[in-house]
Amino acid sequence: MRTGDTADIVIVGAGIMGVSTAYHLARRRAGRIVVLERDEVCSGSTALASGGIRHQYANRIGIELTRHSIETYERFEDEFGVDPRFRQHGYLILVTTEVEQAQTERNVALQRSLGVDVALLSPDETRRRFPYLATDDLRGATYSPRDGYADPYLATTAIAARARDLGVTIRTGCEVVGFARTPEGVEGVVTRDGPLSAPVVVIATGAWSGVLGALAGVDIPVAPLRRSKFITAPFPFDRIPEATPFVIDPHLGISLRREGAGLLLGIGRREEAGSFSTALDWSLAEPLVERAVHRAPVLADAQLMRTWSGLYEMTPDQTGIVSAVPGVAGLHVIAGFSGHGFMHGPIAGQLMAELIAEGRATTLDAVPLALDRFARGETSLEPLTFT
């Protein structure tokens, strides 16, 4: 990087949040935009995500984010020239306890009030529609047919490519190690290759955003949480159909969906201390198999083939941040979506671009995503986060 190198906007991080922000800023002709990435485009948490996209949240902001974002995924190939393999097979969220049932009824009422097509199913209806599931211990389930999942790598790299087409510079292998600060604001970043001056800097580094915030001298309450995925050998479609929904069992702490000829199963350790380790955790295989076979007995014949681990970027209220940093002119944060970053990346990037270019988000009310909500004590926990 050359001494005296400058940009109008620097974005740190080339996952879904960073490249989406860059793309939407470029569409607004916001000036010279440079994205800096320590590794490669879509090489962090985004690449390891399950790719789920759902409307089913307990808070208005989560529902509204998906309402806007899903439209991008539905027209993705027309806008970005790449098929992201968006499969709208629905989301099925299982309900086990009386407390969960009461919360679910409130959730469904809110979702329907915002125009979401969602059904509250009885155990018998759940079993009739999805006969591979054991439902005797369930109180029911919720099902939204427009939900589904897409390929995070295909989608993120396609957005990055279109951003480049619009003039965005993406520098990979370029690690940010510091920030140029004044008492009032930010003046750029310092990389291992040298400084880059810019009056606007966006931190979009997922689970590492708290670390970047510390380098800038600000508190960004984002912490990593490991989540593990397992994939099975090919499993017969006549036993679990190709068009099966993304099944979430919050009580058992597992998820299930098709991944090509196999099945993708998810599990985590809810009480695990946060760290940046993505070490493989085969010790989770035993509890995963036990719980998965309990919920879908046909899986007793499935064979686990491989596993990987990724990082959720958790905030205290399990809701993302799209915000200017109070008291630090020019510094912005887009991070902390607590396992929901891929699904909300397209609209979150648009909101950040609006905030930078127009001074406020205009597509929807983004106040619930403001960083200073934590200091104000104005948070509302999003319970439909599955860790």
Looking at residue 298, what is its pLDDT? Answer: 98
Looking at residue 3, what is its pLDDT? Answer: 46
**Mean per-residue pLDDT pooled into runs of 10, the chain (387 residues):** 78 98 98 98 93 97 98 98 98 97 97 98 98 98 98 98 98 98 97 97 98 98 96 98 97 96 93 86 96 98 96 96 98 97 98 97 97 95 88
CA distance 206 to 209: 5
Statement: the pTM of the whole predicted model exceeds 0.75? yes
User: What tokens appear for 371 in the block?
Assistant: 């960083």
Collapsed DSSP state (helix, strand, coil) of residue 125: helix
**Residue 241's closest CA among 272, 268, 263?**
263
Looking at residue 271, what is its pLDDT? Answer: 78
Residues 6+ apart with CB under 8 A from 196: 1, 5, 6, 7, 10, 34, 36, 188, 189, 190
β partners of residue 171: 36
What does the DSSP assignment read for 216-263? HT-----EEEEEEEEEESP--TTTS-TT--EEEETTTTEEEEEETTEE
β partners of residue 248: 93, 255
DSSP designation for 369: G
Looking at residue 43, what is its pLDDT? Answer: 93
Looking at residue 2, what is its pLDDT? Answer: 53
User: What tokens appear for 376 in the block?
Assistant: 């104000």
Within 13 Å and on the Cβ side, how many CA atoms surround 185? Answer: 13
Looking at residue 274, what is its pLDDT? Answer: 77
Do β-strands 91-95 and 140-144 pair in parallel, antiparallel, or remain unpaired?
A: antiparallel
Residue with tokens 């509250």: 120
Contact status, residue 46 vs residue 342, Cβ threshold 8 Å: yes
Looking at residue 277, what is its pLDDT? Answer: 92
pLDDT tens digit sequence for 85-103: 999 999 999 999 999 999 9
What angle (nearest 5°) sits at the alpha carbon of residue 14, between those of residues 10 and 16? 115
CA distance 23 to 213: 23
